[in-house]
Structure 1
């Protein structure tokens, strides 16, 4: 877990891709895509059916690591709106225990717009918490500090003839105090190049946009884009 200053507040980014909001004692996670394996199985593509267990175990570990008392999920919680009804008993028990242990809010995404909180917690399309907007997909032109997911950003680098891909957060800096796209947290989630124009466009307006991720116990920052006036 490494410290991260954002929008004049202190946060911490875990190695698993969760963001801990110290002032709110809240854990933010994006794109869990629970029950993705069972969704694919319904359509004839067999994947190991334990993705939900793994993802929920990682959330439980992040709660223990940070001491969070609240959890906000940033959409695409299940791979589809019926995913909660497919949870096998063990995973369902894990999720129920988590939603009882902390104040849990599901923000819905494009994969699960009609999900029901069968395991507990509250549901919202988006929220404003302490002046921060929490939604699934970054809104181009947003002038308030914002947290989102959706894009599954990954940093892609060539280092010493090796191609490295790592989940990362994407952080913009500007007059609005900044916006952040969190990495996908789910066990079976892929990713998009963090410098893809789709991501950079979604984060405008901005003075600069960086990829950030924990590395060696510190926060590593990689520039993705800067306004021409700052180059």
Structure 2
């Protein structure tokens, strides 16, 4: 672990992973300065459209624009030239096709001049008709990006689980989305506006992460704590 970092309006927590110096941003994005790479996971764009399409109670249809607005801010503040979206970028393939023309133009403007990769997720398992390259996983230097963690992998950055942590501070309990990190893997929180979360004391996360894993709580500033494991 390292120290809080704040520059150019960007608040984050520096960490070392797989021999690389990375920054967990307060927004839930991951910044890799040496590669000028910004990584985000689980945008779930179009979720309100999918929910309405399936006949469930409607949600206000603003989450795509809110998510893209926060992503635009992170891109502006970091000056990222490479973007990796770690899967489930769209709530399903039909939601990707149903994006409005304004949202499509906005995504295209964010992609302009950048090397942009959509990693396949379980919600969006195939290519979408939007610019950028589409891959199952991506290897850069000592790091492999994929959507769902491989239990035997090392140097892996993934998403999928939407981790969040519950901790007590100043006599009260708070819950925040969180990065989870051990020596083998780094799990990103969900970045999308309409995304729930899985508490890191759930068995799937307790079993996946090593006993000395750390949770880095999002917010200003991001804060590292031992990964909570008790219900």
The reply to whether TM is greater than 0.5 is yes
Corresponding position of 2:6: none
Corresponding position of 2:84: 72
Over aligned residue pairs, what C-alpha RMSD do you find? Answer: 1.8
Corresponding position of 2:62: 50
Corresponding position of 1:198: 204
Pairing of 1:181-220 with structure 2 (within 5 A): 181-203=187-209, 206=210, 208-214=212-218, 216-217=220-221, 219-220=222-223
Pick closer, same or farther for the CA change 1:84–1:214 going to 2, 3 Å.
Answer: closer
Q: Are positions 1:171 and 2:181 aligned together?
A: yes
Shift in Å at residue 214 of structure 1?
A: 4.8
Pick closer, same or farther for the CA change 1:182–1:212 going to 2, 3 Å.
Answer: same
Corresponding position of 2:139: 128
Q: 2:40 is matched with which residue: 21, 26, 29? A: 29
Matches of 2:220 and 2:119, distance apart in 1:
32
Matches of 2:40 and 2:173, distance apart in 1:
26
Shift in Å at residue 26 of structure 1?
A: 0.4
Q: Are positions 1:114 and 2:126 aligned together?
A: yes
Matches of 1:131 and 1:210, distance apart in 2:
20
TM-score by length of 2: 0.88
Contact 1:139 1:202 in 2 (8 A): no
Q: Which moved more, 1:30-39 or 1:40-49?
A: 40-49
Matches of 2:96 and 2:150, distance apart in 1:
27
Matches of 2:63 and 2:179, distance apart in 1:
22
2:227 alignment partner, SS class: strand
TM-score by length of 1: 0.88
Shift in Å at residue 81 of structure 1?
A: 1.6
Unpaired segments ≥5 residues, structure 2? 1-10
Corresponding position of 2:225: 222
Unpaired segments ≥5 residues, structure 1? 227-231
Q: What are the superposed Cα offsets for residues 164-209 of structure 1, whole Å, 9 maximum, x if unpaired?
A: 1101100012xxxx31000000010010112322012223xx4621
Shift in Å at residue 130 of structure 1?
A: 0.8
Corresponding position of 1:61: 73
2:152 alignment partner, SS class: coil
1:186 alignment partner, SS class: coil
Matches of 1:110 and 1:121, distance apart in 2:
19
1:4 alignment partner, SS class: strand
Pick closer, same or farther for the CA change 1:27–1:76 going to 2, 3 Å.
Answer: same
